[in-house]
Structure 1
Amino acid sequence: MINIRTRFFRASPVIGVMLFLFGCTTYNQSLTSYYKNVYAGNYPQAEKDLDNNGLIQKPRNKLLYLMEKGRVAHLRGEYESSNKYFNNADQLLDSGLSGAADAAVGLLLNSMSQTYKGEDFEKFMIHYYKALNYLYLNNTEDAIVEARRITLQAQDQGDKFNNKDNRYSNDAFALMFQGMLYERNNDVNNAFISYRNAAEIYLKNPDQTYYGTPMPMGLKEDVIRTAMLNGFTTEADQFEKTFGIQYTLNKPNEGGELILFWENGLAPVKTQEDLFFSLVRHSDGGLFFVNGAGLEIPFNYSGDRNRVNLKSVESLRVAFPKYIAQTPYYLSADISVNNQQIPLEKAEDINELAFKTLQQRTLKELGKVLARLAVKKMAEYGLRAAATSDGKTNGVLEGLGYGVQLYSLLSEKADTRNWQSLPSSISYARVPLQKGVNKVNIVLKNAQGVAETKTIEIQGNGSIQFYNYATLR
């Protein structure tokens, strides 16, 4: 029996490493078939892959499942079905996805085992797609409801971070889109407020950029134009001076205009990165995790800090998420209509948002992970020390020590989930329309300068219309 037990203990680390390597599959790798079919435009098969995938079918991933289903249904032109999924996702978010049990799972296991609660920018994108779906279904009233929900989402986001300027506490593109929806509904006053709020987000930064996106000229003109339409001459003059432009209010186009969104590429994927830390004690008795790169994170330990044995936490491996950008096939696009060339302007850089928002919360999340791992390590060290405290080996305690070691090794996994079928970026243009049929050409160029043209027909009817075009590769 002793030989069998000894062999088992000696083999445990090897078994652990094998199981650990097997368990390191990322979220993206687990849904490879689904994403390949999305990229290829094979949406029926993509939906089947999603419905048959065991990982995304787990209750903790329900929000992800609903967002992915909503996006694919939207791409298929099934707008009513798309909003069924997005409405269910909204209801999940409204009901709250946190709880004591879920927090305990994060503490004892890892964040990948917790309920997925969505990235902050993903929540704004739900309203974007829902509003477009409603417009395509000729349901302007519900589209305006989504416009109002953007304001509520912005307030929740601001409250979450106490409106700190250096955090993602609002979304400029969502506010721009909100203004467009109000303008579509002939609510010029609320449109001006939305455009102004979006512009003020850009103006908080000296270079007038927001998460990798320079303030679009279209937004500057929208602010001034709606100010003029409302008779706010003082505000219009002020913004002309701020932007350094002079704007002339022209008569509306007879055929109205098309607001065209170009959704290019795909959001970055998350992978797992291993970071290594040690626990040190400062001269004032404070405990800190440090790594070779000079990163220092306080250990908020609830027990007696003076009794913490630093040898028990000499090295910690932290599995942490890391984004990897997906390079889009197309690098630029322009609009050609009725002998006019109209440039597209970037309005949202989801790729940049993903990287920056993860960076903003890195220290806080690393602190949680390190604290969890340190407690496990101290428990493991304590059991091993107790197993040999009297000069003899206590097999039970030794076994428990190895068990804690294996548990710590196997349970450590980064949360590599995110809504990966979102576009990498969104650009837009306001396209003037003639009355009747308009052939709108979207000219796409790849890295080699090779151009491809997508032509759509829009019936100019004097109103504002919307169209979103996605290039997924």
Structure 2
Amino acid sequence: MSQRAPVLMTALFLGGCAMGGFFMSYPAQMAQVKQALSGPTPLSPLTQMSSELSGKDGLLYAQEAGRVAQIGGDFKASQDYYRSAIAAYAKFDDQATVSLSNLGANAGSLVLNDNVIPYRGPGFERVMLHQYQALNYLIQYDFEGALVEVRRANELQAQEQKRYEKSKESVKAMANGTVDSEINRLEQQAGQVTSSFLNAYSYYTTGLIHELLGEENDAFIDYRKAAQILPGNPYLEQDLVRLAKKLAMPQYEEFKDRFGDAILPGQQDGQLVLLLERDFVLAKQPLTVPFTISGNWQTVSLPTYGSSGPAPQPLSLMGLDTPLQPATITNIDALAINALKEDLPALLIRQAARVYAKSELTRGVESQSKKRRDEFDGAAVAMQIFNVLSEQADLRSWLTLPKQAQIGRRFLPEGDYSVTLGNASRNIEIRPGQTTLVWAIDTGSNIRFYSINIKSKWN
């Protein structure tokens, strides 16, 4: 055993490196993709990313590839990549029993690290996947497809809330000093956002699509949920007043007192809706803690989040009668931080099991050694090196998501407008009784516009 251990550990270690990205972390890999999205050739990473779709992280790469194609304006390709990711989630859902391949992956994670476990994103990523797929359908004028994805996104948010409520007691039971300390730190960093699954941007987007396609009661429900999650957005508040008045809702007087009366369009007015996405979501960082068990070195390496940095500088849509200043609807950094916080207890249980397994492996190697006390034990040293180097934090997450989402909305006289947002310009048309949806994506040094006109139901 002692003679074979270095070879065995080397083989396991190199296998773990290949599967878990030991030599280059996932955020480092995605840095090149994000750089391309900020440049003139946003679709260039797709060829390489497509080759990863059949691997254990195929779901994650499908989400990333779908987002890359979406930012680059290839909505059909994005739709196909997202469809692949949706199918991968469905496959996870359908697995009633643990397959041999998953059993092997989980056994490997017990010895190596969580990177060998096939990727399955947190709930907020899955919700945003359907939200973005709905926008893909909408911008291609496939309204029925958009409504299907809207309904699925809303169902998922409800399911995630139920799942979280059921898991609260188990989270309390698993908590200890280390867990409590890290959860408290992440809570402070997340600010007022208290969950990962309640996403005001997703509810606003689904509400907007409901409204544009004539389902105003459903739109009112989604706008109200968004306002409950993120109060204070003036455009969202105005939407609530306007729909409550039009639909003769009992909440109209309350909303009018709180937010002011509804601003209604004139006969020749159209509507401009701006969805503005800013920068890239925060990437995870490793937190490695070395310690000894029975004189042998072990490490625990956890994913965590550092500072999210300053909020993006304000941008206004210029070229209208007065500038349109969008307001924040969701801080996606905070959703990601909360997702990690919610997963932390289970993650630490896996870490504890892994530390124990590695410690037992080391003790087994030492007990097999029949060398004299003063003789160099290469197998034991190799085991300790393996234990330290193989412990790598799982830093995988959907990194082409935006850092922040903002919205703006205004009724405007019909006409052609040359609008500017930051360093980007575009000509848009406002038509009577129609909505011009402008979707702008700011990737740092580049802003891309996409727009469509839809006959509205608000007039």
Tell me the TM-score normalized by structure 2: 0.77
Q: Are 1:340 and 2:295 an aligned pair?
A: no
Distance 1:239 1:91, change over 3 A: same
1:438 is matched with which residue?
417
Cα distance in structure 2, aligned partners of 1:24 and 1:271:
15
Cα distance in structure 2, aligned partners of 1:326 and 1:248:
36
Distance 1:275 1:409, change over 3 A: closer
2:336 is matched with which residue?
354
1:41 is matched with which residue?
40
Match of 1:80, as an amino acid? K
1:259 is matched with which residue?
273
Cα distance in structure 2, aligned partners of 1:328 and 1:454:
26
Distance 1:366 1:170, change over 3 A: same
* Matching of residues 123-142 of structure 1 within 5 Å: 123-142=126-145
Task: Compute the displacement of 1:200 (Å).
Answer: 2.5
Task: Compute the displacement of 1:403 (Å).
Answer: 5.5
Q: Are 1:90 and 2:82 an aligned pair?
A: no
Match of 1:237, as an amino acid? E
Cα distance in structure 1, aligned partners of 2:157 and 2:412:
33
Q: CA RMSD in A?
A: 3.4
Structure 1: gaps spanning 5 or more residues: 203-207, 209-214, 279-310, 445-451
Map Cα deviations across residues 127-170 of structure 1 (whole Å, 9 max, x no partner).
22212211111111111111111111112211221276953342
Task: Compute the displacement of 1:327 (Å).
Answer: 5.9
CA contact 1:173–1:198 (8 Å) conserved in 2? yes
1:192 is matched with which residue?
220
Distance 1:41 1:68, change over 3 A: farther
1:282 is matched with which residue?
none
Q: Are 1:275 and 2:274 an aligned pair?
A: no
State the percentage of identical aligned residues.
22
Map Cα deviations across residues 175-204 of structure 1 (whole Å, 9 max, x no partner).
1111111110121111111112222334xx
From 203, 225, 229, the counterpart of 2:246: 229
The worse-fitting range, judged by mean Cα deviation, of 56-65 and 129-138 is 56-65
The worse-fitting range, judged by mean Cα deviation, of 422-431 and 161-170 is 161-170
Q: Are 1:181 and 2:209 an aligned pair?
A: yes
From 214, 233, 243, the counterpart of 1:216: 233
* Matching of residues 53-202 of structure 1 within 5 Å: 56=52, 59-96=55-92, 99=98, 100-101=102-103, 102-162=105-165, 166-202=194-230
From 361, 370, 377, the counterpart of 1:379: 361
1:369 is matched with which residue?
351
Map Cα deviations across residues 442-462 of structure 1 (whole Å, 9 max, x no partner).
2x3xxxxxxx45333234252
Match of 2:255, as an amino acid? F
Asked which structure has the greater CA Rg, the reply is 1
From 264, 269, 273, the counterpart of 1:250: 264
Task: Compute the displacement of 1:382 (Å).
Answer: 4.6
Task: Compute the displacement of 1:30 (Å).
Answer: 3.1
1:425 is matched with which residue?
404
* Matching of residues 265-344 of structure 1 within 5 Å: 265-276=279-290, 311-312=293-294, 316-324=298-306, 331-344=313-326
Map Cα deviations across residues 328-347 of structure 1 (whole Å, 9 max, x no partner).
89511112343122211011
1:470 is matched with which residue?
441
Match of 1:107, as an amino acid? L
Task: Compute the displacement of 1:416 (Å).
Answer: 1.4
Q: State the secondary structure of the residue aligned to 1:421.
A: coil
Match of 1:62, as an amino acid? G
Distance 1:436 1:192, change over 3 A: same
Map Cα deviations across residues 340-394 of structure 1 (whole Å, 9 max, x no partner).
2221101121122223332343343123212211232133225424646xx957x
Q: State the secondary structure of the residue aligned to 2:413.
A: coil
Match of 1:178, as an amino acid? T
Cα distance in structure 1, aligned partners of 2:337 and 2:127:
17
From 408, 425, 428, the counterpart of 1:454: 425
Structure 2: gaps spanning 5 or more residues: 169-192, 445-459
Q: State the secondary structure of the residue aligned to 1:433.
A: strand
CA contact 2:37–2:43 (8 Å) conserved in 1? no
CA contact 1:26–1:271 (8 Å) conserved in 2? no
CA contact 2:303–2:393 (8 Å) conserved in 1? yes
The worse-fitting range, judged by mean Cα deviation, of 191-200 and 158-167 is 158-167
Match of 2:234, as an amino acid? M
2:190 is matched with which residue?
none
Q: State the secondary structure of the residue aligned to 1:266.
A: coil
Tell me the TM-score normalized by structure 1: 0.75
Cα distance in structure 2, aligned partners of 1:24 and 1:106:
17
2:171 is matched with which residue?
none
Match of 1:167, as an amino acid? S
- Count, aligned residues: 402
Match of 2:32, as an amino acid? S
1:295 is matched with which residue?
none
Map Cα deviations across residues 45-90 of structure 1 (whole Å, 9 max, x no partner).
22234346xxx45611111221122112212222112101111111
Task: Compute the displacement of 1:126 (Å).
Answer: 1.4
